[in-house]
Every structure is written in structure tokens, then in C-alpha cells.
Amino acid sequence: MTGVRPHTAMVLAAGLGSRLGDGPPKPLRRVGGRALIDRALDMLAEAGVERAVVNTHHRAAEIAAHLAGRAGPEILISREAERLETGGGVAHARALLGGDPFFTLNSDLVWGPDGADWLDRLAAGFDPRRMDALLLLYPTARAIHYDGRGDFHLASDGRLCRQEGPQSAPYLFTGAQILVPGLFDDPPPGAWRLTRAYDRAEAAGRLFGLVCEGVWLDAGTPERLAHAEAMLAGS
């Protein structure tokens, strides 16, 4: 069946946020009058998510205290004694995520007013018969304050292959995706990145992408945070 709407999400909030300098932990930085993590959770709730698992490590108590004041979605905290990176963090939270496909969202993303619509499009496009992962992509050439070589090439049937070597890739991963729990079966111990799960899905022909051309920004640096503030003020 095509179009499986996840009711559970993983929000990645365990990073150090060292590029932002002194101040609140990165998920609690405010833009447009709201903490970044609240913006992510609000968008997920608007897209129908009922339960969100949030992983924490750096300044975990501050983030947990902040989230305790939310009415919805239901928040479950996955505390990491050691930082496990993105893939290890999801694997560590596996028991809290359940057995169905789930959204995974970085906590430092800023979207325009149509952000939840793009999550709806991800859900509508996800086909568990063909896919283990559906990643939301953004055109590399349009990414603000980004000077990398991109992340993925997109085939005509929607399948992805990761950028390798000196050649640039036309699409950048936005930090929003739908994943199946099976990608985290038999995980390696300790810290590892989600790219390992993508490689596993790609090898099976089950890594897919969907292109977003709306308003999106990774607010992980002071320059990007300032640009996000200006972007939202003008939207």
C-alpha cells in the first residue's frame, strides 16, 4: 500500500551545537519567537504525529525540562550517556519507536509555513513495499550558506545513490525522512551515523528521495540562524 502515515517520530536533539557558540543548547535556540525543537514538534503534530521520541545528551536536563511544558505530541526522552550520533541514537531508541515506519527529523531545521505539507507529501509518497527509507531532498544550488558538494543523485524512478568522489550531487538531504525499523536490526555498538542505514537501503534498492522546493534552512550556524530569522520575518 502506498501512503503510510507515521504517527511516531524521532527528533534528533543530542548534538553538541558547538558551531553556534555560547548560549542555550542548539534545540532551544529561538527563531521566529519559538525554540527550534518546538518548531519541529509543532510541524510534526500538524502532520499527524502523536508521539515523538527525542534523544538527548548535551545539556539533556535543560532540553527535557523545556519539553515537559508541551501539551503535544506525547514526548518520550531517549537519554544517551554517551553521544551515539544519528544512527546510534535511533538504534538506542528503537524500543520506544515501535514497529511501524516513523518520521525522523533533525531539531535544527527551519521551514516555511508549508513545512507540514512536505511531511504530508513524504507520508503520501512512502511505499513500504518498495522503500526502507524515503528522504526529503533540497536542490543543492538553492541551499543558503552551503558550500558542500551535495549528498545524493536522484534517478528517474525516485531511487537515490550517495554522492562519492569529486563530482557534485544535485540534491542535499534536508534532515527529514521516513525510515523503517528494520534498518536498525543488528546495529553495531556505540556511535554511528545514519549514512550506514542509507547504504544498507541503497544496496537493497530501497533508498528513495522526494524533492522539496519550498522554504527550508539548516540553522546550525550563527549565519544560518540569522538568515532563518530574516527569512521567517519576510514570509
Asked if residue 21 belongs to a domain, the reply is yes
Do the domain assignments include residue 92? yes
Between helices 36-46 and 60-67, what is the axis angle to 10°?
40
Domain ranges, residue 34: 8-234
Q: How does pLDDT run across 121-136, given as a tens digit for each residue? A: 999 999 999 999 999 9
Query: Which CATH number do you get for residue 88?
Result: 3.90.550.10
Measured distance CA(216)–CA(42) in Å, rounded: 16
Distance CA(43)–CA(47), nearest Å, equals 6
What residues form DSSP beta bridges with 227? none
Domain membership of residue 125 (yes or no) is: yes
Residue 2 lies in a domain: no
Helix (H) or strand (E) holding 171: strand 171-179
Which one, of 64, 133, 106, lies nearest residue 217 by Cα?
106
Q: Is 213 helix (H, G, I), strand (E, B) or coil?
A: coil
Given this model, what pLDDT does residue 2 score? Answer: 64
Q: Is residue 227 part of a domain?
A: yes
What average pLDDT score do residues 163-190 get? 93
For the cut 90, the answer to whether the pLDDT of residue 87 exceeds it is: yes
> Does residue 166 belong to any structural domain of this protein?
yes
Determine whether 97 is exposed, middle or buried from the number of CB atoms within 10 Å of its CB (0-12, 13-18, 19+).
buried
Centroid of chain to Cα 162: 17
**Residue 1 in domain:** no
The band of 1, judged by pLDDT with boundaries at 50, 70 and 90, is very low
The CB density around residue 212, as the number of other CB atoms within 10 Å, is 22
Q: pTM score > 0.85 for this model?
A: yes
Segment 11-64, tens digit of pLDDT: 999 988 777 777 899 999 999 999 999 999 999 999 999 999 999 999 999 999
In a domain, 19, yes or no: yes
- On the question of pLDDT at 68 being above 50, the answer is yes
The number of distinct structural domains making up the chain is: 1
